[in-house]
């Protein structure tokens, strides 16, 4: 049987830049698991509007599926971070904001997988909606593109980020800061690697940041209430959280200035995400089975402050919980430190977000086993 799987990226994410796909590791692992089960997987990476509204992103997703899914394909949606909300809106039986012509494929939809998705919002979105937060979002996106497409953490990108968050820069308008200096600097860094699309990606962030407003805990309180699960579709989620920041993490970066910078950025994001808004705690209603699984995975019940550096753990829970464990927001996509030797460059996992989670290849394999099992069972 043939399955069409559509990958929708979230914060900091992109569909494809040059020859690099943001979901490259997830796509490869899922393809292998489907093949082992006697099925063919045809992958599609959504070239999304990175920080546009959920409605605009979901509309783009629906149109791509309508245009590319072959007749007879079983259809699956996989969304990371905000991408999970795109998938939920598209599949919602209550959706009225997307044309029926773009949703003609819905009867063939079999599963929706959300990975570290802010179903009930994240305090970080409120921060990203501020002028200072826009600069941090720009810096994180730039660093992600450079690190993943080049396969390393480049010194020049690090220098750009340091300049972005420098106190004297905070008064500059977003466009002047982002496009006139940072985009040009990063474009000069990565264009020789065959990735000119980075210019359009970063410009899109500057042009439309609607999702940053919608992902605030207060806004998602209403958005979540408007989603309705579709009958016959299997909804599953994976969730993770990073260890709480400790002084020991800093000791581990001694002699590694890039890791120290990355750890500083992560700690800042983690601290912001750990502050639930009063009256809007970023959590839904859990069930005893889910709570038992969380207790087995972490040895305690996660609190409202526990998060992956971007999304509170309890905001990530939706549908059937198929995997949970220690890991940061990008670890679960395969963007973690890979200490295996002799691995070809395109297969090696690259980690730029130092969180101290110590996420491993074994954990990644377990995560993909769980996702594939749920998708095939659907």
**Cβ atoms within 10 Å of 298's Cβ, excluding its own:** 15
Banded model confidence at residue 245, pLDDT cuts 50, 70, 90: low
Give the three-class secondary structure for 275: coil
Cα separation, 51 vs 64, in Å, equals 18
Most confident range, picked from 38-52, 168-182, 341-355: 38-52
Going by their DSSP bridges, the two strands 16-17 and 20-21 should be labelled as antiparallel
The two structure tokens encoding residue 262: 């990355």
Tell me the per-residue pLDDT of 58-105, one tens digit each, with 9 for 90 and over: 999 999 999 999 999 999 999 999 999 999 999 998 888 899 999 999
Assign 54 to helix, strand or coil. Answer: helix
Rounded-to-integer distance, Cα 75 and Cα 45, Å? 14
- In this predicted structure, the answer to whether residue 156 has a pLDDT above a threshold of 60 is no
Q: Tokens for 289?
A: 């089975």
CB 104 within 8 A of CB 191: no
pLDDT over 70 (residue 32): yes
Compute the average pLDDT of residues 126-142. 72
Prediction pTM value: 0.85
Query: Token pair for residue 184?
Result: 């040009």
């Amino acid at each position: 049987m043939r399955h069409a799987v559509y990958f929708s990226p979230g914060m900091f994410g992109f569909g494809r830049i040059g020859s690099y796909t943001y979901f490259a590791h997830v796509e490869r692992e899922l393809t292998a698991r489907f093949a082992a089960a006697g099925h063919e997987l045809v992958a599609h990476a959504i070239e999304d509007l990175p920080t546009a509204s959920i409605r605009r992103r979901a509309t783009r997703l629906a149109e791509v599926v309508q245009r590319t899914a072959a007749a007879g394909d079983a259809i699956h949606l996989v969304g990371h971070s905000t991408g999970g909300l795109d998938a939920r809106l598209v599949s919602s039986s209550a959706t009225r904001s997307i044309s029926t012509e773009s949703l003609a494929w819905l009867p063939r939809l079999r599963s929706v997988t959300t990975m570290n998705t802010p179903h009930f919002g994240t305090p970080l979105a409120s921060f990203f909606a501020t002028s200072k937060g826009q600069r941090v979002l720009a810096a994180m996106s730039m660093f992600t593109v450079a690190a993943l497409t080049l396969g390393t953490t480049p010194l020049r990108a690090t220098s750009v980020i340091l300049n972005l968050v420098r106190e004297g820069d905070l008064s500059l308008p977003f466009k002047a800061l982002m496009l006139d200096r940072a985009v040009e600097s990063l474009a000069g860094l990565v264009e020789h690697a065959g990735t000119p699309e980075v210019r359009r990606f970063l410009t899109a962030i500057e042009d439309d940041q609607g999702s940053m407003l919608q992902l605030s805990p207060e806004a998602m309180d209403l958005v979540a209430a408007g989603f309705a699960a579709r009958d016959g579709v299997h909804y599953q989620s994976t969730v993770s959280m990073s260890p709480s920041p400790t002084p020991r993490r800093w000791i581990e970066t001694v002699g590694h200035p890039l890791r120290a910078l990355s750890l500083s950025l992560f700690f800042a994001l983690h601290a912001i995400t750990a502050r639930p808004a009063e009256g809007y705690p970023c959590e839904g209603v859990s069930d005893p089975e889910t709570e038992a699984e969380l207790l087995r995975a972490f040895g305690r019940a996660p609190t409202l402050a526990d998060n992956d550096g971007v999304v509170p753990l309890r905001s990530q829970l939706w549908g059937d919980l198929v995997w949970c464990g220690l890991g940061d927001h990008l670890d679960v996509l395969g963007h973690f430190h890979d200490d295996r030797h002799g691995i070809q460059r395109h297969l090696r996992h690259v980690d730029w977000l130092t969180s101290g989670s110590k996420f491993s290849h074994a954990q990644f394999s377990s995560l993909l086993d769980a996702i594939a099992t749920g998708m095939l069972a659907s």
